[in-house]
Structure 1
Amino acid sequence: MADLASGRPMSAAERLRIGSITKTFTATVVLQLAAEGQVVLDAPVERYLPGLIHGGGYDPQTITVRDLLRHTSGLPDHVDAMDWDHVAQIRYRHYEPRELVELALAQPPLDGGWHYSTTNYVIAGLIVKKVTGHSIGSEITRRIVRPLGLRDTYWPGDSLRILGPHSHSYFVQEHDGVPVRVDGTAWNMTFGDAGGALISSPLDMNRFFTALFSGGLLPAAQLRQMMTTVAADPERLWPGARYGLGLIASPLECGGWWWGHGGTVPGGHRAWEATTIDGRHAAFALTQVPSTQQAENDFLDTVQTVLCESR
């Protein structure tokens, strides 16, 4: 249901918060800048943002732009540092990107390897602003949303509302020890920034990924870079999953791979886009995040079924 109060059903044109699918948009902008010679993927973050990464035993000279985009920087996630027992203190306030980075750096350093961290993309957004003079939201709009005519996709800034036709979202919160479903549609998404702020629709997600994989957004060399993957943590994603530059890759039971990303926001919206190189798509939108591992597994099984049965 798009709205439990009215009983209105979901449709592919309903707007929603797409959470971490924003990462694919941000990575696309960074790769466009790389194609233009404005960003070097293997350059250290320190070249663009001197002094941003500090303390905690981190060496900013060894963390590269590529590390940010593929989650191999070793930086913690600021989302894990937030006080989720007091949601209202997070939900309605504005966060500055550098404030989010400081939240992450205050946590203990991570071991080496692959660690999913939205902070990586907050920093990538700051790099975009440094080299272009414009915010990541402005660059996504200028470089992707307008050229593709994505009518349902926009950067919300500080607005708590979702403009236009949209689904509500719901999460469960305890009141006096009793779990209660709460409408979580109103949310200030500055806490997600370049890693999670966008609003879109399943229709627009399909249009974006179609353009991406057909070469409409990136030159072939940069698309190959985007699709060059490393093994992801199976506990954070799932067994067999790999991660490129803003892209998840996962094997299909019927052969080949699907490519895409998922997004979850604490207010309850859950979005997913999975596509194959030959143009099959599966776009999903949920109004409440699955609460059990079995529900997550069922969700992934549905992706497999849709893509394999549409061959």
Structure 2
Amino acid sequence: MSRITRFAALVTASALVAGVGAAGVGAAGVGAAGVEVASAANAAAPAPSPAHGPSPAHGKGGEGDKLDRKVREQAEKLVADGAPGVIVMTRRGARVSHVTAGVADKATGAPMDHRLQFRIASVTKSFTSTVVLQLAAEHRLSLDDTVDRWLPGLVAANGNDGSKITIRQLLAQTSGLNDYTPDPRVMSDPARTWTPGELVAIATEKPPLYAPGTDWNYSNTNYILAGMIIEKATGRPVGAELQRRIFTPLRLRHTFYPTTDPGFRGPYVHGYYYEYGDVSTLVSPSSARTSGGIVSTVDDVARFHRALFTGRLLPAKQMRELRTVRPVNDDGIVEDYGLGVARIAFSCGYGWGHDGGFPGYRTWTYTSADGRRQAIITYNESKLESDTTFRADLAKAAETAFCG
């Protein structure tokens, strides 16, 4: 049995890209933890060599150092709970800090490093939504356009009706379309190259869950369709639009959008799936695409979300659309969901962002509305939140990182 076949047997019944979640969410030993403090510019650092260790702390003492110590304790606890490695990025005004614990590569023992690339999974949805909203601001499409307006006849089987689903409903996760990712075929051959149309066809084999706009369910199908609409509206590949509109203007130098190649473009965090081991490059990103395919770093994600939530990427009207939320309950987690972004309640206020999961990777992002407070947590093991102890410690880590 091949390596890919054995992996597929483990995850055939699992969803590929995790849904949105809130902070209220065989163990590896605790590795060396490091802290690095940066200036307000948060400039993109050069990618490290795979063996690069955590950077030592620098900067003045005070409340920031106290926060780093508390965050480091939480990161080490997550490693003790089972995460091979953890990165926690925090911002308090001009002060940006990175705490790492554990390893990025079990085989070599290379420590976790905040400059390494990883798969951000469903955090991609914030990028996709931003491009759609920019196109709406340019009057190249309307959020009230139907799916059929741009993709006639694509959503038409088994009671699914693209003439009744709007672009806004896609972004808000209120279309009623089923999610394609739990389908066993998606992971039975993880290296397979999927087309967007094939993924939509899987989803529409089942009748809709409800009439469009009347309820909410997390479905990656919505964001596959959004990506297809971007390409129809612009006449360009969606990756080119992401590059032109977001990656290049924000100088996200370690961020890219793969479609079929499961490799990375620089040193990366190795991702692990249960006892199977390293699955970092086994799964084709074609099964995630605009629902969860982007590769990035914690600093690039933080820069994007800070620019987004402080209004640098969208006009006021589209910002209102982005942040128009409804309360949702996703797998027992209660939060507010807007257009590709979630609003999470912390003790110190709301955090805006998204979470994401891809085989071997899990990420949680939070940014305050004014951009002065941020927290990102990422670790390189799938499905750890099914453990109640890990889930409780993750919630504590998120609260500490965002509120201190």
Deviation at 1:108, TM superposition (A): 3.7
Residue 205 of structure 1, aligned match among 301, 320, 337: 301
Distance in structure 1 (CA, Å) of the matches to 2:368 and 2:248: 24
SS in 2 for 1:93: coil
User: Which residue identity lines up with residue 379 of structure 2 in the other structure?
Assistant: L
SS in 2 for 1:31: helix
After superposition, the Cα gap between the structure-2 partners of 1:82 and 1:39, relative to the gap in structure 1 and judged at 3 Å, is farther
Per the alignment, residue 9 of structure 1 pairs with 111
SS in 1 for 2:217: coil
SS in 1 for 2:104: coil
1:271 aligns with 2:366: no
Cα deviation 1:125-145 (Å, max 9, x = unaligned): 010000101122111111100
After superposition, the Cα gap between the structure-2 partners of 1:296 and 1:56, relative to the gap in structure 1 and judged at 3 Å, is farther
Alignment of 1:159-174 (within 5 A): 159-172=261-274
Q: Aligned-pair RMSD on alpha carbons?
A: 1.5
Deviation at 1:293, TM superposition (A): 4.5
After superposition, the Cα gap between the structure-2 partners of 1:140 and 1:82, relative to the gap in structure 1 and judged at 3 Å, is farther
SS in 1 for 2:329: coil
Deviation at 1:219, TM superposition (A): 1.0
Residue 247 of structure 1, aligned match among 341, 356, 372: 341
Cα deviation 1:228-265 (Å, max 9, x = unaligned): 101222426x12x01100001111123x2110011100
SS in 1 for 2:319: helix
The percent of aligned pairs where both chains have the same amino acid is 39
Distance in structure 1 (CA, Å) of the matches to 2:319 and 2:391: 29
TM-score (norm 1): 0.91
- Kept in 2, the 8 Å contact 1:81–1:107? The answer is no
SS in 2 for 1:147: coil
Cα deviation 1:15-55 (Å, max 9, x = unaligned): 00110011000000000000000110112111111111102
TM-score (norm 2): 0.71
Deviation at 1:215, TM superposition (A): 1.8
Cα deviation 1:53-74 (Å, max 9, x = unaligned): 1022123222100000010000
Alignment of 1:174-189 (within 5 A): 180-186=275-281, 187-189=283-285
| Bigger Cα displacement from structure 2, 147-156 vs 213-222 | 213-222
Deviation at 1:301, TM superposition (A): 2.9
Residue 224 of structure 1, aligned match among 303, 316, 320: 320
Alignment of 1:19-98 (within 5 A): 19-83=121-185, 87=187, 89-98=188-197
1:287 aligns with 2:380: yes
Which stretches in structure 2 are left out of the alignment for 5+ residues? 1-102
1:102 aligns with 2:102: no
Cα deviation 1:194-215 (Å, max 9, x = unaligned): 1011000101011101111222
- Kept in 2, the 8 Å contact 1:264–1:271? The answer is yes
Distance in structure 2 (CA, Å) of the matches to 1:293 and 1:35: 43
After superposition, the Cα gap between the structure-2 partners of 1:230 and 1:101, relative to the gap in structure 1 and judged at 3 Å, is same
Deviation at 1:296, TM superposition (A): 3.0
User: Which residue identity lines up with residue 214 of structure 1 in the other structure?
Assistant: T
SS in 2 for 1:79: coil
Choose 1 or 2 for highest CA Rg.
2
Deviation at 1:291, TM superposition (A): 4.6
Distance in structure 1 (CA, Å) of the matches to 2:161 and 2:265: 42
Residue 398 of structure 2, aligned match among 297, 303, 310: 303
Which stretches in structure 1 are left out of the alignment for 5+ residues? 173-179
